[in-house]
Amino acid sequence: MSNFRIRPLAFACCVLLAGSAGLSPSVAAASPAAHKAAAASHADIKSNPFYNASTLPFQAPAFDKIHDADYQPAIEEGMRQQQAEIEKIANNPEPPTFENTIVAMEKSGQMLYRVMNTFSAVAGANTDDTLQKVQEIEAPKLAAHQDAIYLNPKLFARIQTLYDKRDSLKLDPESQRLLEWDYKEFVLNGAKLSDADKAKLKQWNAQEATLSAQFQNKLLGAAKAGALVVSDKSKLAGMSAEDVDAAAQAAKDRKLTGQWVVPLQNTTQQPALTSLTDRDTRHALFEASWTRAEKNDANDTRATIEQIAWIRAQKAKLLGFDTFAQWKLEDQMAKTPGAVMNFMDALVPAATSRAEAEAADIQKVIDADQAKAHQPTFKLEPWDWNLYAEQVRKAKYDLDQDQIKPYFELNDVLQNGVFYAANQLYGLTFKERHDIPVWHPDVRVFEVDDKDGSQVGLFYCDYFKRDNKSGGAWMSNLVGQSKLLGTKPVIYNVANFTKPAPGQPALLSFDDVTTMFHEFGHALNGFFADTEYPSLSGTVPQRDFVEFPSQFNEHWALDPKVFAHYAKNYKTGEPMPQALVDKLKNSQLFNKGYDMTELLSAALLDMSWHTLKASDPKVTDVDAFEAKALKDNHTDLSYVPPRYRSSYFLHIWGNGYAAGYYAYLWTQMLADDAFAWFQEHGGLTRANGDRFREMVLSRGNTEDLAAMYKAWRGRDPNIDAMKKDRGLETPKGK
């Protein structure tokens, strides 16, 4: 129910791509490449590029020497090596000590982590049929490998012995935290179960891993197949020339002559819905998105998620919890489903009320437009919202997205915005490296140096959408930081921005700009890791804390000093006119009712799935369950669909956010509250950045997160700044 041997592998926004996916033995038997890879694992494993640590700077993977056939034998050998190391620890005849048990566990599995970190990156950002097969075949094996560790009775007996006398071991605080964390994670993963129940848990873990992999690969196929194909260019009226060119290029890449393709992003709403003026095309694009995973048996995910939800409820009961959500939240910041629901329930009335008011404004624009054109009006639908909301934005703030995009050229945003803010706050500098191999030509690599000139690590960025790339945006490590292992961080950010036609600039929306700052906030959390043990380093496993540094970093995108440094016209180099800057800033509360409601809908839908009890009837109609959940949670506004529908909710079925999607809202509270502290103490200063780095960003999971936050902030977080920043304050007089 968590990633093998404790260390988190990837956050995707922030998605967890553990590389632990799987299918059935029949698929393995059907794969000649898999047979070939398995044979190679015995004969050539010592020549495998993952067998030893990379000799490249920072142990960066040698992508120029890694081939698809290398992954499966390396995964198999990595598991074999770690299992042997764990058996040696468990069977050690010496009495258990922190060094010979807990530290020894931390040192185990190095080959497995090397290959899984790299495989996760490539399987998420540049997959192919062979990698998908490997992902499917290895998932249940990785689940079994994890179970072999967590459910090893001799190993747990040693941990239990140390835990019981932890107060007399005289451990330093980080070591004490690691011991207590390991004990809790072993218990949560079934270490105290009977042998019969352990066997049952192992079976369910393998089944869930298989199903999760099936879901991920079906969804990737569904997104590719679900892209909108247009044969008449006039149907794309309203789209910018650059976006039309990109659609033509996407069709060309698929060998669709004389057509245009609008690829799907992972969310319900699609970027093109903001500009398409042909209502039939908007409707078609929305339906392509809404039904992407329901169109044919090959890509229909619904039966898969019904089974995943059922298995998770059974596992929770076996482990002594009423629901999967109760189990999942046991080691999170929120602690209980009740705390999560109380938090979100407090936001729903304000969010939906604001969304309803926004819808009324949009309906007026629709009515006026139709009357002006002497056409009958129509009721606002989800596929209309973005286009007409943009008109309301223009009317209220005189802001046109096409006006601002020329000021957000990708490289300027990256180097003069994202990197500049990191320099001003923390003293980091960045130097592009062209000698480090990458997994795709679009990927760029930068060396990151600290304020004293010492090397921090490497940063990879892969920003453009591809059909073989998972949707969304995320961060993870190729190499993690650990003083024990002597490693420094090698980190990557992935996004899905529209790739421009050849020779054209990559112009971003402000949402894209925010995404870049967001994902780099995760990267900073990883770069500043300063811990002894790899399991406690960097981006922590608690979902309702890990999004805090990233959402906090978003705030610097509009900081006046940072904004002025990157928001320059890509043709002239002129800064964005102050009048346009003011319009952009003033518009930031625009559409917040919609934004918050679609996010709350998704988070509450997640909780509805994961508060099912083992005794509840198994869900057999995903669409009906979803409709009832939205209604019961009071988020069933017809014109505000959830940000993710159940059938394509990758976060919760394939990327580790099950019963955790609320974390985006919870950490908005933390991020807004934290930024308020910066504003109270002088804003963008090195002193503020250094204090935040030392007390929060560098600490990983080395202490209780609520206590960590309170020590830095001076008090517990509250919702006041969030309500103000998200436009959810109760109007005066009400």
- Scanning the structure block, which residue is given the tokens 């009226």? 237
Q: Are the beta carbons of 116 and 78 closer than 8 angstroms?
A: yes
- Scanning the structure block, which residue is given the tokens 């669709």? 256
C-alpha 659/C-alpha 646 separation (Å) is 13
Q: Are the beta carbons of 477 and 127 closer than 8 angstroms?
A: no
Q: Are the beta carbons of 489 and 527 closer than 8 angstroms?
A: yes
**Residue 610 CB partners (closer than 8 Å, separation 6+):** 309, 312, 323, 324, 325, 328, 652, 658, 659
Q: Are the beta carbons of 217 and 132 closer than 8 angstroms?
A: yes
C-alpha 645/C-alpha 268 separation (Å) is 7
Convert 5-40 to b/e letters by CB count within 10 Å (16 or more is b). Answer: bbbbbbbbbbbbbbbbbbbeeebbeebeebeebeeb
Q: How far is CA 178 from CA 19, 332, 541, 566, in A?
A: 25, 16, 13, 42
User: Can you give the length of the chain in residues?
Assistant: 734
Q: Are the beta carbons of 651 and 219 closer than 8 angstroms?
A: no
- Scanning the structure block, which residue is given the tokens 């004990």? 183
- Scanning the structure block, which residue is given the tokens 């509270």? 669
C-alpha 429/C-alpha 196 separation (Å) is 55
C-alpha 546/C-alpha 701 separation (Å) is 10
- Give the bridge partners for 497, in sequence order: 464
> Is 519 known to be catalytic?
yes
The closest alpha carbon to 243, from 223, 261, 225, belongs to 261
Q: Are the beta carbons of 594 and 355 closer than 8 angstroms?
A: yes
Report the first-to-last Cα separation within the chain, whole angstroms. Answer: 46
Q: Reduce the DSSP state of residue 702 to 3 states and report it.
A: coil
- Give the bridge partners for 457, in sequence order: 448
- Scanning the structure block, which residue is given the tokens 């003011």? 582
The closest alpha carbon to 54, from 106, 145, 8, 117, belongs to 117
**Residue 314 CB partners (closer than 8 Å, separation 6+):** 204, 614
298 is written with which tokens?
């090959």
The type of residue at 559 is: D
530 is written with which tokens?
């300063």
User: Which residue among the candidates 76, 77, 174, 519 is catalytic per the annotation?
Assistant: 519
C-alpha 558/C-alpha 514 separation (Å) is 9
User: Side-chain half-sphere of 387: how many Cα atoms within 13 Å?
Assistant: 24
655 is written with which tokens?
């990327």
DSSP string, 294-356: GSSTTT--HHHHHHHHHHHHHHHHHTT-SBHHHHHGGGSSS-SHHHHHHHHHTTHHHHHHHHH
Q: In 3-state terms, the chain is what percent helix, strand and coil (to 5)?
A: 60, 5, 35
Q: Are the beta carbons of 659 and 665 closer than 8 angstroms?
A: no
524 is written with which tokens?
């900073």
Catalytic residues: 519
